[in-house]
């Protein structure tokens, strides 16, 4: 005998608190989708952007193409039409106007959607998870937002990044400490980016430790790190080693390297080579 089957039931939240939570979640989803749509509708088209143009009840006029360097788009029946400098809604209105003037379509309903943005991009280079060029979409244009799009600063990256931005016809170079933005709560340093800006994340400074330590090697230099902290990063001194007479090879000037005897509370400098000697007895 075949097993009795029961109709599947959709599991919807039943308790009042669950219903409120579900409703709030759906509101957030709607708001996020709405914000993205508003941002796209306000975007300004430029050379290199790809757009999809559709005309209601005229599928033969559907076009997906890239705006040329001249700022024009080749459209059926009309020919080349200038769209650069217009928002998608204004571009749709211009195409509709040309279709009416040419008596190609009566009362056309045209929509223009951005497929790919190339005219408004920033470059993110250096020690990030995904270096490359990223589009400004009008919704997430701040420095930290764009770093997040690139996957964030990786383990080898420095906290202080370099921003090269063109403002008022002049190129400016700014050094910005990203963690300091969040520690201080000063969002004025979380600069709104513009097309053509470049973010460069340099490699963090290192120090080196060898001799009688548990884990000799190269390590990231943290701000205000002392010799004692550096030894702990290396796993501490071995039973055969001594914390007395720790020496550092440090570059002074361009080429000169000096061997210095340091105390445990001295600050470690970028590129320092710390040597822990073996105890005599």
Q: Which CATH architecture group holds 206-276?
A: Roll (3.10)
For the residues 264-273, what does the mean pLDDT come to? 94
Angle between helices 88-101 and 16-42 (to 10 degrees): 60
Look at residue 102 in the predicted model and tell me its pLDDT.
92
pLDDT band at 187 (very low <50, low <70, confident <90, very high): confident
- Tell whether the model's pLDDT for residue 53 goes beyond 80: yes
Q: Which two tokens stand for residue 224?
A: 């205000």
Radius of gyration of the chain (CA): 30
**Which residue's structure tokens are 């997430």?**
140
For residues 182 and 36, which has the higher predicted lDDT (pLDDT)? 182
Q: What percent of the chain has pLDDT over 70?
A: 83
Q: What is the largest CA-CA distance in the chain?
A: 101
Residue 16 in this model has a pLDDT that exceeds 60? no
Q: 121-201 maps to which CATH number?
A: 3.10.560.10
pTM above 0.85, yes or no: no
Same fold, 50-116 and 206-276: no
* 3-state class (DSSP) for residue 146: helix
- Is 90 exceeded by the pLDDT of residue 111? yes
**Does residue 138 surpass a pLDDT of 80?**
no
Residues 6+ apart with CB under 8 A from 4: none
What would the pLDDT profile of 189-228 be if each residue is shown by its tens digit? 888 998 889 999 999 999 999 999 999 999 999 989 999 9
| pLDDT given at position 140 | 67
Assigned CATH topology for domain 50-116 = wza like fold (3.30.1950)
Mean pLDDT of the chain: 84
The predicted pLDDT at position 14 comes to: 52
Q: What is the pLDDT of residue 12?
A: 44
Domain ranges of the chain: 50-116, 121-201, 206-276
What was the pLDDT predicted at 273?
96
pLDDT at 141: 84
Instruction: Report the pLDDT value the prediction gives residue 281, as an integer from 0 to 100.
Output: 65
SS (H, E, C) the chain: CCCCCCCCCCCCCCCHHHHHHHHHHHHHHHHHHHHHHHHHHHCCCCCCCEEEEEECCCHHHCEEEECCCCCEEEECCCEEEECCCCCHHHHHHHHHHHHHHCCCCCCCCEEEEEEECCCCEEEEEECECCCEEEECCCCCCEHHHHHHHCCCECCCECCEEEEEEEECCEEEEEEEEHHHHHHHCCHHHCCECCCCCEEEECECCEEEEEECECCCEEEECCCCCEHHHHHHHCCCECCCECCCCCEEEEEECCCEEEEEECCCCCECCCCCEEEECECCC
3-state secondary structure 198-246: EEEECECCEEEEEECECCCEEEECCCCCEHHHHHHHCCCECCCECCCCC
Average pLDDT over residues 69-88: 92
pLDDT mean over 46-71: 92
Render pLDDT for 242-261 as a digit per residue (tens, 0 to 9).
888 789 999 887 778 888 88
């Amino acid at each position: 005998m075949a097993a009795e089957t029961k109709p599947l039931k959709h599991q919807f939240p039943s308790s009042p608190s669950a219903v409120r939570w579900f409703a709030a979640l759906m509101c957030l989803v709607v708001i996020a989708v709405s914000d993205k749509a508003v941002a796209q509708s306000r975007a300004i088209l430029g050379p290199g952007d790809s757009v999809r143009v559709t005309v209601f009840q005229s599928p033969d006029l559907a076009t997906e193409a890239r705006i040329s360097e001249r700022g024009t788009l080749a459209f059926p029946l009309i020919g080349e039409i200038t769209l650069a400098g217009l928002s998608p809604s204004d571009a749709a209105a211009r195409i509709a106007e040309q279709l009416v003037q040419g008596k190609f379509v009566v009362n056309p309903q045209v929509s223009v959607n951005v497929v790919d943005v190339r005219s408004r991009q920033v470059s993110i280079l250096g020690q990030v998870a995904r270096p490359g060029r990223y589009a400004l979409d009008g919704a997430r244009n701040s420095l930290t937002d764009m770093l997040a799009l690139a996957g964030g600063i990786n383990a080898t990256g420095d906290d202080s990044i370099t921003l090269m931005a063109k403002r008022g016809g002049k190129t400016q170079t700014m050094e910005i400490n990203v963690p300091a933005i969040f520690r201080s709560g000063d969002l004025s340093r979380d600069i709104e980016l513009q097309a053509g800006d470049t973010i460069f994340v340099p490699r963090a400074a290192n120090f080196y430790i060898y001799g009688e330590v548990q884990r000799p090697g190269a390590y990231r230099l943290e701000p205000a790190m002392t010799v004692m902290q550096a030894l702990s990063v290396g796993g501490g001194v071995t039973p055969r080693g001594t914390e007395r007479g720790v020496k550092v090879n440090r570059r002074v000037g361009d080429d000169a390297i000096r061997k210095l005897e340091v105390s445990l509370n001295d600050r470690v400098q970028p590129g320092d080579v710390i040597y822990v000697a073996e105890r005599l007895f």
